[in-house]
Chain A
Amino acid sequence: MTKPLSVLAWGAVAAVGTLAVSVVAVHRGEPINALWLVVAATCCYALGYRFYSRFIAVKILVLDPLRATPAERLENGRDFLVTNKWVVFGHHFAAIAGPGPLVGPVLAAQFGYLPGTLWILAGAVFAGCVQDFVILLFSVRRDGKSLTEMAKEETGRVGGMVAYAAVIAIITILLAVVALIVVNALKSSPWGAFTVGITIPIALLMGIYLRRIRPGKVLEVSVLGFILVLLAIWGGQWVSQNPTLAGIFTLSATTLAILIIIYGFAASALPVWLLLAPRDYLSTFVKLGTIALLSVGIVVLHPTLHMPAFTRFVDGTGPVFAGKIFPFAFITIACGAISGFHALISSGTTPKLIARETETRLVGYGAMMCESAVAIMAVIAACVLQPGIYFAINSPASIVGAAPEAAANTISSWGFPITAAEMQALAQAVGEQTLYNRTGGAPAFAVGMAHIFSSTLGGQEVMALWYHFAIMFEALFILSILDAGTRVARFMLQDAFGHVYKPLGRTSWYPSILATSGLIVAAWGYFLWQGVKDPLGGINSLWPLFGIANQLLATVALCVATTIIIKVHRAKYSLVTLLPLAWLVTVTYTASWHKVLDPNPRIGFLAQARVLGAGPATSATRQLIFNNRLDAAVTAILVIMVSLVVIESVRVWAGILSGKKMSPVRESPFVMTRLTAGENA
Chain B
Amino acid sequence: MKPDLRERRLKQLASFVRIFLATLREIFDEAAYARFLQRTQTTSSPQAYAAFRREHEHRHARRPRCC
Chain B: residues with Cβ within 8 Å of the partner, total of 36
Closest to B19 in A: A86
B41 lies within 8 A of chain A by Cβ: no
CB within 8 Å for A339 and B26 given contacts A84-B19, A210-B49: no
B residues less than 8 Å from A222 (CB atoms): 28
A28 to B33, CA, bound (A): 55
B residues less than 8 Å from A487 (CB atoms): 61-62
Tell me which of A215, A217, A335, A491 contacts B67 (CB under 8 A). Answer: A335
A94 to B36, CA, bound (A): 22
B6 lies within 8 A of chain A by Cβ: no
A667 lies within 8 A of chain B by Cβ: no
Chain A 353-374 interface mask (CB, 8 Å, partner B; 1/0): 0000000000000000000000
A residues less than 8 Å from B67 (CB atoms): 98-100, 174, 178, 334-335, 339, 341, 481, 546, 550
Within 8 A of A (CB), among B24-52: 24-30, 32-36, 39, 44-46, 48-50, 52
Are B27 and A90 closer than 8 Å at their CB atoms?
Answer: yes
Are B27 and A94 closer than 8 Å at their CB atoms?
Answer: yes
Tell me which of A215, A349, A480, A550 contacts B49 (CB under 8 A). Answer: A215
B24, B25, B27, B50, most chain A CB atoms within 10 A: B27
Chain A: residues with Cβ within 8 Å of the partner, total of 55
Chain B binding surface SS class: helix
Are A87 and B66 closer than 8 Å at their CB atoms?
Answer: no
Are A90 and B23 closer than 8 Å at their CB atoms?
Answer: yes
B residues less than 8 Å from A77 (CB atoms): 35-36, 39
A-B contact count (CB 8 A): 121
B53 lies within 8 A of chain A by Cβ: yes
CB within 8 Å for A90 and B33 given contacts A95-B63, A339-B67, A491-B61: no
Are B27 and A91 closer than 8 Å at their CB atoms?
Answer: yes
A86 to B49, CA, bound (A): 27
CB within 8 Å for A212 and B46 given contacts A86-B19, A222-B28, A284-B27: yes
Tell me which of A90, A91, A277, A345 contacts B66 (CB under 8 A). Answer: A345
A81 to B35, CA, bound (A): 11
Closest to B50 in A: A211
A96 lies within 8 A of chain B by Cβ: yes
Closest to B52 in A: A216
A100, A211, A216, A273, most chain B CB atoms within 10 A: A216
Chain A binding surface SS class: helix
A212 to B49, CA, bound (A): 9
A residues less than 8 Å from B52 (CB atoms): 216
Are A95 and B28 closer than 8 Å at their CB atoms?
Answer: no
A636 lies within 8 A of chain B by Cβ: no
Looking at the assembled complex, report how far the CB atom of A456 sits from the nearest CB atom of chain B, in whole angstroms: 23
Looking at the assembled complex, report how far the CB atom of B50 sits from the nearest CB atom of chain A, in whole angstroms: 7
Looking at the assembled complex, report how far the CB atom of B45 sits from the nearest CB atom of chain A, in whole angstroms: 6
List the interface of chain B (C-beta within 8 A of A).
19, 22-30, 32-36, 39, 44-46, 48-50, 52-53, 55, 57-67
Are A341 and B63 closer than 8 Å at their CB atoms?
Answer: no
Closest to A285 in B: B28
Are A87 and B19 closer than 8 Å at their CB atoms?
Answer: yes
B residues less than 8 Å from A345 (CB atoms): 64-66
A98 to B35, CA, bound (A): 28
Could you list 18 A-B pairs, sorted by A, with CB under 8 Å?
A77-B39, A83-B26, A87-B22, A89-B23, A90-B23, A91-B27, A95-B64, A97-B66, A98-B67, A211-B49, A215-B33, A216-B33, A218-B30, A219-B25, A219-B28, A344-B66, A484-B61, A488-B62
The 7 closest A-B pairs by CB, nearest first: A215-B49, A100-B67, A90-B23, A218-B28, A216-B33, A341-B66, A98-B67
Are A481 and B65 closer than 8 Å at their CB atoms?
Answer: yes
Looking at the assembled complex, report how far the CB atom of B62 sits from the nearest CB atom of chain A, in whole angstroms: 5
Closest to B63 in A: A349
A276 to B50, CA, bound (A): 15
B residues less than 8 Å from A272 (CB atoms): 53, 57, 60-61
CB within 8 Å for A91 and B30 given contacts A211-B49, A216-B49: no
A91 to B28, CA, bound (A): 9
Looking at the assembled complex, report how far the CB atom of B12 sits from the nearest CB atom of chain A, in whole angstroms: 13
B residues less than 8 Å from A219 (CB atoms): 24-25, 28, 30
Closest to A276 in B: B61
A84 to B29, CA, bound (A): 15
Chain A 333-356 interface mask (CB, 8 Å, partner B; 1/0): 011000101101100110000000
Tell me which of A90, A96, A98, A215 contacts B26 (CB under 8 A). Answer: A90
A residues less than 8 Å from B44 (CB atoms): 215-216
A281 lies within 8 A of chain B by Cβ: yes
A601 lies within 8 A of chain B by Cβ: no
A297 lies within 8 A of chain B by Cβ: no
A83 to B49, CA, bound (A): 22
Are B66 and A95 closer than 8 Å at their CB atoms?
Answer: yes
A327 lies within 8 A of chain B by Cβ: no
Within 8 A of B (CB), among A66-83: 77-79, 81, 83
Are B65 and A215 closer than 8 Å at their CB atoms?
Answer: no
A79 to B36, CA, bound (A): 12
Are B30 and A216 closer than 8 Å at their CB atoms?
Answer: yes
